[in-house]
Amino acid sequence: MQKPRIERLGHYEIVEEIGRGGMAVVYRGIQSSLNRTVAIKVLPPGFARDKEFIARFDREAETIARLSHPNIIQIIDRGSEQGTCYFVMEYVDGLSLDAFLKGQALTFRQLIEIATQVCRALAYAHAKGIVHRDLKPSNILIAKDSLAVKVADFGLVQLAQSAGELSTLTQSNIAMGTIEYMAPEQRRDARNVDCRADIFALGIILYEMFTGQIPVGHFKRPSELNPEIPRALDQIILTCLEPDPAERFQSAGELARLLQTALGEEPGVMDRIVHTVKSAGERATTAMRGKTRRVAAAGVLLAAAVIAIPAARGCRAPRGAAGTPPRATPEEVPAVEEKTAPSIPPVAAAPTATQPPVSASAPVRDTATPSVAQAREAAPPRASAPPGTPAPPVGAEADFAKAESYAAADMTKEDLRRYAVTSMRAVLENFKTVEPRWAEKAQMRIGQIYEQAGETTLALAEYRRLLDLFPQGSLRADAQYRIAECLKPSGFFGMLDLGRKEKRLKAIDAYDRVHRNHPASPYASKALYQMGLLQEEGGAAADYEAAIGSYERIARDYPASDEAPHALRRVAELCRNRKVKQYEKAVRTYEDILARYPDREEGFHLLLNIALVKETLLNDPQEALEGYRRVIREKPGTKDALEANRRYEALLQAATPPR
C-alpha cells in the first residue's frame, strides 16, 4: 500500500492507505488512546472550505453515528482538520462480497445467511430514516474466517451530493458498478428515493450471488441461468427487481423473513453447493432469449411462498371456506419474547366484518380484517393461570390490553408487528360501534406501530383512516399531529432532497391544520413550533417573517407551553438575521424572555446576547458596555461573565485614544 501523505488526523495516527475512490481515500489508522485499529475515510479538500457544508456534515454525521447494529460498520468519530473532513469507523479485517465470492464453493445456506444479514442492516437503518442509496458488493464486507456481514458507507452518497459531486467510493482492486445496482427511480432522481431503492439494489446482488451475472435489460429468470435455484427464490429475487417500487417488497424485514423460509420446504436445498457463482472479473450480462422475466406466482412457488409473498406485497393471502368465527372470550396473553419471532399460520376462515376503505394516498398491506380469534390462533400458546386467579375483565378494554402486550415488543420485527396489528384490527372491528373509544385507540395504535417500525407510508394511511372512521373522536388531534410528523421531510442528508420543498410545504399545511382544528389541544403549540422550524428552512426573508409569526402566536396564545420560551428565542435569533434586520426587536424579545421566563437566562445567555446585539448589530458601544457590566455583576464566575469581561475590555481599549 502507498505511504500516506497525511501522518495524523486528530487523535488518530495514519498507518497506510487501503483504498481510493472518486469521493474519498481510505486509510488504516490507530486510535492512540485505545490502541485500536480504525478505518479513516478522508474526503476531498474542497469539502472543508465550505462552511455551510461543514455545518451540515457535523449535523448529519451525528445521524449516521447513531446507527448501532451488528451488521453495520459503526462510525466512531468525525472531524475537520488541516482543511480535511474525515470519518473514523471500525476496521473490518475481511473481504468485500465481490472478493469473498471469487473462487468460493458456497451453499445456499451460506448465501442466504449473508443476504439475511444485509437485510437486517437495511431494516434497522430504514427504521431510523436512513437509506443507503449505494448498496453494492463492494460495500458489503465479510469478516475473515466467518460469515459475519458488515454493511459500509451508509450516507456517503448523500454526502457527495451535498458537495455537488455524485461519485462513488470504491476499494482498491474492486470494480465500480454503482449504476448497475441503481433502481430505475434512482436513475431518474438520485436524491428522491426511499428504502425500496435499497431493496432493488439487494435484488441485483442476490441475482449476482446465485447466478454469477448482473441482470440487464430483459434478463432471464435466475433459475434459467442456474437450474438448482428453487422457484420460490426465483420469485423473491424477481419481486425485488420490479421496476415499480410499489410492486417490490416494502421492507427489508419482509425480505429477510422470506429468504429464511422460502427454501425450507425443499429437502437438502440449503446445504446444496451453488456452483455457478463467478468471480467479479468473470461477471457477464445476459440478454433474455425466449421467455420474458416475469413469472406467474401460481404453480411455481412452494407452498410456504405462495402464502408469504403476496402478503408481503400487499395481496390478500389465500383463505379457506368462508365462515363466521365468533368473537373469542378474552384470554390472558403471554409477553412475546423479542428473540423468537413465531411464524403466522394461514387463516382458515374469513371474518364477518370487512376492512373499511383506507385513504387512497397510501397502500396498506394488511388488507385482511382479522378477528380476535384469528389473532389468538396466530399467537404463541398461552400460559395457564394459577388456581384461584380471578377472571380477567371482559370487553374492549381487556382485548385492547392483550393487543397492547404484542405492541410492547420490538415492532421492527415483521412477525411481532403483524401480531400487534392483527390484534388491534380485531379490537377495531369488534368494538367500533359498541365501544368506539377503544376502537379509536386501537386504530391510533396501528398507525403508531407502523410509524415506530419506520413504515411511514402505512402509518399515514392508518392515521388518515382514523380521521375518516371517527369524525367526533377524542384522538383526532393526536392523529393529525402524527400525520404532520410523518410528512415532515427527514432522514440522512435530507436537506439535499430535491423533493424536500414540496414535502416541507405539505408538512407546514398539516401542522397548520392541527393548530386551526384543535386550538385547545396540547398539540397546538407543538404544531406551531414545528411549522415555524419548517418555515425557517425556506431561507428567504418572507420565510423568516412567516416563522416569526408562528413563533409569536405561540407566545401570545400558549404562554404557559413548553414551546413558548423557545419560540421567543427563535424570534430573537431570526431578528438578528441579516435578511430580517430587526435588531432592536431582537433586544426587546430577549428582554421579554428574561421578564417572562427568568429561569431561562442561564441556558439562553439572554443578558450576554442583549449586549452582543447592541455592540455588533446596533453599533451602540455605550449600551453594550452597560450590558457587559450587567453580565459581570449578575453572573460572576460564569463563562458568560468571562466573555463579557473580555469584550468589555476590548471596547474600552478601542475607545481609548492612543498616546
User: Are both 120 and 217 inside the same structural domain?
Assistant: yes
- The answer as to whether 132 is a domain residue is yes
The answer to which of 174-188, 471-485, 501-515 has the lowest mean pLDDT is 174-188
User: Are both 148 and 296 inside the same structural domain?
Assistant: yes
Give pLDDT tens digits for 219-235.
Answer: 888 988 888 888 788 88
Range of the domain at 147: 94-312
Which residue carries 377524542 as its cell?
A: 474
- The answer as to whether 3 is a domain residue is no
Separation in Å, CA 452 to CA 303, 449, 486: 31, 5, 11
Grid cell, residue 512, equals 397548520
User: Are both 176 and 249 inside the same structural domain?
Assistant: yes
* Residue at a domain's end among 427, 448, 469: 448
- The answer as to whether 493 is a domain residue is no
Q: What sign does the dihedral 634-636-642-647 (CA atoms) show? A: positive
- Give the pLDDT score at 304: 30
User: Are both 344 and 324 inside the same structural domain?
Assistant: yes
CB-CB contact of 338 with 409 (8 Å): yes
- Give the pLDDT score at 207: 94
CB-CB contact of 245 with 131 (8 Å): no
CB-CB contact of 402 with 423 (8 Å): yes
Q: What is the DSSP letter of 138?
A: G
* Residue at a domain's end among 61, 90, 119: 90
- Give the pLDDT score at 48: 62
From first CA to last CA, the distance across the chain in angstroms is 63
User: Are both 229 and 290 inside the same structural domain?
Assistant: yes
Strands in 512-594 per DSSP E: none
- Please return the burial class of 627, using the count of CB atoms within 10 Å of its CB with bins 0-12, 13-18 and 19+: buried
- Give the pLDDT score at 178: 64
- The answer as to whether 596 is a domain residue is no
Choose the most confident range, by mean pLDDT, from 100-109, 134-143, 288-297, 346-355.
Answer: 134-143
Confidence of residue 238 (pLDDT cuts 50, 70, 90): very high
Confidence of residue 493 (pLDDT cuts 50, 70, 90): very low
- The answer as to whether 101 is a domain residue is yes
Cα 126 from chain centroid? 4
How many Å apart are CA 520 and CA 477, to the nearest integer? 10
CB-CB contact of 87 with 75 (8 Å): yes
User: Are both 179 and 284 inside the same structural domain?
Assistant: yes
Check which CATH number belongs to the domain holding 282 and give it.
1.10.510.10
User: Are both 180 and 73 inside the same structural domain?
Assistant: no
- Please return the burial class of 139, using the count of CB atoms within 10 Å of its CB with bins 0-12, 13-18 and 19+: buried
Query: What phi and psi, each to the nearest 5 degrees, are found at residue 399?
Result: -65, -40
Angle at 103 between CA 97 and CA 104, to 5 degrees: 70
3-class DSSP state of 96 = strand
3 state SS for 62-76: HHHHCCCCCCECCEE
Which residue carries 407543538 as its cell?
A: 526
- Give the pLDDT score at 272: 63
User: Are both 214 and 275 inside the same structural domain?
Assistant: yes
- The answer as to whether 371 is a domain residue is yes
User: Are both 141 and 183 inside the same structural domain?
Assistant: yes
How many Å apart are CA 125 and CA 147, to the nearest integer? 21
Instruction: Say how many domains are in the chain.
Output: 3
Label residue 50 left, alpha or beta by phi (over 0 means left) and psi (-120 to 50 means alpha): beta
Give pLDDT tens digits for 47-90.
Answer: 666 666 666 666 656 667 778 888 998 888 888 776 788 888 88
pLDDT of 311 strictly over 60:
no
% pLDDT > 70, the chain:
69
* Residue at a domain's end among 21, 56, 90: 90
pLDDT of 176 strictly over 80:
no
Give pLDDT tens digits for 549-592.
Answer: 999 999 999 999 999 999 999 999 999 999 999 999 999 999 99
Grid cell, residue 96, equals 468485500
Q: What is the mean pLDDT of residues 139-150?
A: 86
CB-CB contact of 257 with 308 (8 Å): yes
Grid cell, residue 571, equals 424570534
Of 152, 121, 148, 359, which is closest to residue 256 (Cα–Cα)?
121
Q: What is the DSSP letter of 257?
A: H
pLDDT of 10 strictly over 90:
no
Confidence of residue 271 (pLDDT cuts 50, 70, 90): low
User: Are both 231 and 375 inside the same structural domain?
Assistant: no
pLDDT of 441 strictly over 90:
yes
Q: Does the annotation mark 153 as catalytic?
A: no
User: Are both 220 and 111 inside the same structural domain?
Assistant: yes
- Give the pLDDT score at 107: 83
CB-CB contact of 438 with 400 (8 Å): yes
- Give the pLDDT score at 278: 45
- The answer as to whether 458 is a domain residue is no
Q: Please, where are the H alpha helices in 496-537?
A: 500-517, 523-537
Check which CATH number belongs to the domain holding 62 and give it.
3.30.200.20
Residue 404: partners with Cβ closer than 8 Å, 6 or more residues away: 445
Q: Please, where are the H alpha helices in 128-174?
A: 156-162
Confidence of residue 396 (pLDDT cuts 50, 70, 90): confident
How many Å apart are CA 364 and CA 316, to the nearest integer? 11
User: Are both 296 and 222 inside the same structural domain?
Assistant: yes
Catalytic residue among 134, 198, 399, 497, which?
134
- The answer as to whether 618 is a domain residue is no
Give pLDDT tens digits for 359-370.
Answer: 333 333 333 333
CB-CB contact of 239 with 248 (8 Å): yes
pLDDT of 301 strictly over 80:
no
pTM for this entry: 0.44
Which residue carries 365462515 as its cell?
A: 323
Give pLDDT tens digits for 642-654.
Answer: 999 999 999 988 8
The answer to which of 29-33, 436-440, 571-575 has the lowest mean pLDDT is 29-33
Which residue carries 402464502 as its cell?
A: 307
Q: What is the DSSP letter of 266?
A: S
